Chain A
Amino acid sequence: MQKILVWDWPVRLGHWLMVGGFCLAWLTAESETFRLVHVISGAIVLGVATFRLPWGFIGSRYARFAEFVRGPTAVKDYLSSILKLEPAHHVGHNPAGSWAIVILLGLGILTSLAGWAMYNDIGGDLFEELHEGLATSMLIVVLIHLAGVFSGSLLHGENLVRAMLTGFKKGLPEEAIASARPIAAILLLAWVAAAGWFIAN
């Protein structure tokens, strides 16, 4: 086993943009002074999530949904392997992480769309309640995801946070992705900027 490139640029950049957008949105949720910042941070979440959907089909190997989306049995097996302190190592996303991704993408899209509707006076009280409820569920999934990342990092002896920054994880040389796809990351930035600009206007 050696360090190989696993996460491409759009996956990593998208992940951390999502983190930034989500945190900023929580910090500004109660404020009218920072209402525009809140709206733009929601737009960042929406931009990243909507980019990630097609990227899950055309992205590099470990970015593809087909590579990491697994049924509940796989999650159960993985979680029980963790409880036995003998975690099954996955080069790409582990089955629990894959559920976090799918759920957070879904919640990210729904929460920001509900917020966007509110911002444009569509949907009234119902969307207001929906927006808050979805955002809270998203926070809960984020916290579970964090718990999973930290316990997984400890058990695998592999810093998964650093891996999401550098793109490198433990694996066999033939399992590495060939390119980090930097140009797609520029497209992602442009898409997110466009979403922010469009939604805030």
Chain B
Amino acid sequence: MKTLATLSLMLISIAAHAETPQQIRQIYATEAAAQQTGFSPSAKRGETLFRQRFALNDKMPACTSCHTDSPLNAGQHSVTGKSVKALAVAANAERFADPAKVEKWFGRNCKEVVGRACTPAEKADFVAYMSEVR
């Protein structure tokens, strides 16, 4: 199932660059449902994940260290000070539009901030929150 989801992400990224956040959320949700029956993405759980302090990394203990307390705001890189575009789709339509890019940044940032790979369920929740937050 994981292979299937990864494969569909890859195929989508090859076939078309522009996807909707809903489609990307659906891919993760399908993957999550295979591991956990009755799974349904929750923006609320996504928000909790966004605000959680993992405190594994002094420079970036939480998502909010760089992305600020509101995903609608542009953020600031906690090491370089460079500006980071807003995460929320409402503030930045380019977000969650390219499955390969979404997968790349979940991969990098989960490893460094959460300290492990995020689960498909967490990714589905996170995408749900970022698509819905106004």
- Identify the A interface with B (CB < 8 A): 30-33, 35-36, 39, 119, 121, 125
Contact = CB atoms under 8 A, between A and B. Distances in A.
A121 B77 CA distance: 13
A54 to B, nearest CB: 31
Interface string B92-134: 0000001001000000110110000000000000000000000
B107 to A, nearest CB: 8
A121 B57 contact: no
B36 interface: no
Contact of B112 (A32, A39, A121, A125): A32
Given A125-B98, A125-B101, A31 B82 contact: no
B108 A32 contact: yes
Contacts of A121: 82-83
A35 B108 CA distance: 12
Contacts of B109: 32
Contacts of B98: 125
* B: contact size bracket: 10 to 19
A161 B57 CA distance: 38
Contact of A33 (B59, B83, B101): B59
Q: Nearest 5 CB-CB pairs, A to B?
A: A35-B79, A35-B80, A33-B59, A30-B108, A36-B79
A39 to B, nearest CB: 7
Contacts of B79: 32-33, 35-36
A98 to B, nearest CB: 36
Given A30-B111, A31-B112, A125-B101, A36 B59 contact: no
Nearest to A132: B104
Contacts of B57: 33
8 contacts: A30-B112, A31-B112, A32-B108, A32-B109, A33-B57, A36-B79, A36-B80, A125-B98
Given A125-B98, A125-B101, A32 B77 contact: yes
Contacts of A119: 80, 82
B90 to A, nearest CB: 20
B103 to A, nearest CB: 13
B60 interface: yes
A39 B66 CA distance: 18
Interface in B46-76: 57, 59-60, 66
B57 to A, nearest CB: 6
Nearest to A124: B94
A35 B83 contact: no
Contacts of B83: 121
Given A125-B98, A125-B101, A33 B60 contact: yes
Given A30-B108, A32-B79, A121-B82, 15 more contacts: A30-B111, A30-B112, A31-B108, A31-B112, A32-B66, A32-B108, A32-B109, A32-B112, A33-B60, A33-B112, A35-B77, A119-B80, A121-B83, A125-B98, A125-B101
A136 to B, nearest CB: 14
